[in-house]
Structure 1
Amino acid sequence: MFFVETIAIPSLGNRHYLAGGATTAVAVDPPRDIDQVIAAAARRGVRIALVVETHVHNDYVSGGLELARVTGAEYLVPAAARVAFPRTPVHDGDSADVDQDLTLHAVATPGHTPHHTAYVLHEAGAPVAAFTGGSLLIGTVGRPDLVEPRLTEELARAQHASAHRLADTLPDATAVLPTHGFGSFCSSAQADGETSTVGQERSANEALVKDADTFVAELLAALDDVPAYYAHMGPVNSTGPAPVDLTPPATADPATLADRLAAGEWVVDLRHRVAFAEGHVPGTYNFEADGQLATYLAWLIPWGKPVTLLAESPAQLAEAQ
């Protein structure tokens, strides 16, 4: 019997997955803070044998490379993705064993990026779940304009074709498990619900109920702004991210905060806006810990600017970090 565990990062609007059987598992599009994935595997009592990326991400730094290093897992990345680190290149139609009777099959689904690849989990030869990354989302698709402006319309048409490829080849009961769509600006719209299947998407997804010309025209007309930090994510992920430092931060006293503010550092108060309005350290910014903290703080802060977080509790600070 297989399992799929979802690791949600609400502040980025993404979901990441650990799927496997009795002894081994695969991590799909892992987040930067890989401790969450390792903890999930420990709870399940499984070894992470595979780490896979659906694409080179534009909205967060991937934890895939570090997770593969730490666990010794095989790191699968779409073959056409330009990366500067060792990995197992994945081509359309490739397969890899996850556990007994569990196999992962790669399906080329260009559109969100030219090299985008979905992975379909088969149990005893039957498709049971599709990890669709930024291709087929719940009710929509991943946006096609994050790679190169001149490719946007071409990729939008590829999204339409990729969605149909998945819908035409997978049974209705196959679970659709996307990475984007839960608040990430990598999605062309927000997810219409929390869970879905291929059958549900076939009757409701914009890419599957509209002809290609209509779909492309409406998709391109509805594209929103792109967070400024996205420009840095692709290069970081292609080069190979450094390990994330999850060391608990030191406590800053009033004098230290004053020095940081005087030096132009951003000091960010994580409390609710009402509490902030009632009283705060002059010169600080308010970004509530609840909500899409990472997306909006990273969007507005000048790239590379040091930041200090002020929290109400160690747990709130750890979550924000």
Structure 2
Amino acid sequence: MIARWQRLFVAAWCVAALGWTAFAWGRPWPWMAAGWLLLLGSHATVLGLEFLAAARVGRQGPSPHPTGRQWWRAWLAECGWSPRMWAWRQPFRSRRFPDNFPAADGRRGMVLVHGFAGNRGFWLPWLKALRADGRCFAAVDLEPPLGGIDGFVATVDAAVRRVHAATGRPPLVVAHSMGGLVVRAWWCRSGGQVPVHRIVTLATPHAGTWMARIGRAASSPEMRIGSAWLQALDAAQACVPPVRFTCWYSNCDNMVFPAATATLPGADNRAAHGLAHVELAFAPQVVRHTLALLDAD
């Protein structure tokens, strides 16, 4: 569903670009430049507002606080990553690498869970690397895109069970942003009875995020700082068997802030400071460390 929405958005953008070009053709060049500046710069402007909010709210959190140069670099990086994700990979390439279930070779597999308003196309570089390595993997689509977090639990449960059955080994579960909350909700719902090697979360709002206050999806109030849903999740997780967590977070995250909200008490919390929200999921050190966990005890 999200792929269709994003394809429609890209089509509408192209129609607007062609329409404005036709309208401005033959007029003084500032007409053409103004329209294209608006078309190309609107998303960067929205991202800039997100980073300004993150910088302001982040001052309330613990150090290290980013420098102006770090904020600027993170904004530029996200201006590249974000359209690549929302206007290409997710709408047009989400099926490029289907789930892979090779003959069992004794090696552990991976389950990948995307975040809000995403699909499995988010993980394309990861899927390419896993396929090249001959690994078993399943990358889910959380549908409907604007649904509540609890409604996605069954999808994760089915993927984990499939990978476990195919390999005979507890899988590594990797989740980005809201996907980490879906995985935690699944773990609590399962009662900790489904074998899992480890759960790795990337920029997940474990304690909520300031940005959720402006969302209108069913999951938005659930991800607000101090929400009743998050409090119930923490209480439920305290009542199930523990599982090892690795939580990556950044002090330049433009969607999950303050930065400490992306950590969990007792987890292996790893800072990737200076990285933006989408960028963090593809940072070489994050990918390298996470893939190495497939063969770790």
Q: TM-score, normalised by structure 1?
A: 0.31
Higher helix share: 2
Higher strand share: 1
Q: TM-score, normalised by structure 2?
A: 0.33
